[in-house]
Amino acid sequence: MKDSLHPPVYLDFNATTPLDPAVIEAMKEFISPEFGNPSSTHFYGIAPRRAVEKARGQVAALLNCSPPEIVFTGCATESNNLAIKGIAAAQKHRGNHIVTTRIEHPAVLEVCAHLERNGFVVTCLPVDAHGLVDVRAVEQSVHDRTILISVMHANNEVGTVQPVEEIAEIARSRGIALHTDAAQTPGKMSVDVQALGVDLLTIAGHKLYAPKGVGALYLREGIGVEPLLYGAGQERGIRPGTENVIAIVGLGMACELAAQNREQDALHMKTMRDLLHSGIAESVRDVRLNGHPEKRLPNTLSLSFKGIEAGMLLEEIGLDVAASAGAACHSGEVMISHVLAAMGVPEEWAKGTLRLSTGRTTTREDILTAVRAIADAVRTLRSR
């Protein structure tokens, strides 16, 4: 058991990541002395303005697009709102039908639900037992009133990677805008908007070692969206408001690092994740993997422990390991996540689900500690 000198091993990198030291270093100058407003035409505006444009270039390089196609936002939630509400408002004269999936983050599902309450029709496609969307179902769902398809790049809970490239062929051949929520993928796998064939793509700073409070939306040239905010015209009027220069600089640096180090980082995260999986599977019985065995983020491990409640498991391991549950207890009732429910994970398994996610800084020692703590806790809870 760890003491207070040793905080729990962090295995929740899909929730958020620590700041990379190079990101902190890059941001320092824009905390002080370069405090200026990038819109100022005097001396103090010059460095911040250049820094925002440099960051735009760094994000664009990671995503393989041109810098003007990047719009800085406050978070992935905002990018998703801007993409979905923005297309809905800009294209409502063409149609009112939107296609998405049951396993999207609430930052997509709740936006779609809001639009549904306002006259739009939303098709929420099911997924298979691995969390994969069927491309033929996408094809069958679209019609001449469909204006947007929004399918996430990789799922935050189980890590399943969707066939976005194939869905793009359908969207392109029908002239339908395609958005993907890629909050979980940069730095873990290639996120190339040309290869993916998407028109809009969401990223979030704090999932890739940049600060919270910054995100970006890739908006393919020629695709118009209605802004969520109106103001003084920053970000070409698509997202007005004085830029969060410090965080934008951090996001730019984080994207540069992700582009440089992706292959080695992904291999490291996968090695740590697989070590964690095999260690747990060898130590306790009745464990099942959720998500696709291969088409999966290299860092994500969603495990269900039969007959155990995830909340109790998290409580038991809390001093040793920080992870997330795939089920939450509300007023004595266990509610399983909408993702596990959509995948049809049986309840006696689903309610005992832990989401473990490794990162750039995860060590072998971390994994050994986590395996020991989780295996001990599972045995203890099963013996009660």
Per the annotation, the verdict on 75 as an active-site residue is no
C-beta separation of 59 from 255 below 8 A: yes
The CB-of-381 to ligand PLP minimum distance in angstroms stands at 27
Residue 25: count of CB within 10 angstroms of its CB: 12
Q: Contact positions toward ligand PLP, by CB under 6 A?
A: 75-77, 105, 107, 152, 156, 181, 183-184, 204, 206
Residue closest to 339 by CA, chosen among 114, 15, 106, 107:
106
- Rounded-to-integer distance, Cα 154 and Cα 365, Å: 28
Q: Is the peptide bond before 33 cis (omega within 30 degrees of 0)?
A: yes
**C-beta of 91 vs 150, nearer to ligand PLP:** 150
**C-beta of 162 vs 184, nearer to ligand PLP:** 184
Strand 177-181 to 200-204 pairing: parallel
The CB-of-105 to ligand PLP minimum distance in angstroms stands at 4
**C-beta of 78 vs 265, nearer to ligand PLP:** 78
- Rounded-to-integer distance, Cα 357 and Cα 276, Å: 10
- Residue located via tokens 């969206």: 225
Residue 75, both tokens = 């978070």
The CB-of-72 to ligand PLP minimum distance in angstroms stands at 13
C-beta separation of 217 from 200 below 8 A: yes
**C-beta of 10 vs 275, nearer to ligand PLP:** 10
The CB-of-113 to ligand PLP minimum distance in angstroms stands at 15
Q: Is the peptide bond before 67 cis (omega within 30 degrees of 0)?
A: no
The CB-of-73 to ligand PLP minimum distance in angstroms stands at 9
Q: Count Cα neighbours of 331 within 13 Å in the Cβ-side half-sphere.
A: 0
- Rounded-to-integer distance, Cα 276 and Cα 253, Å: 30
**C-beta of 152 vs 249, nearer to ligand PLP:** 152
Known catalytic residues are: 329
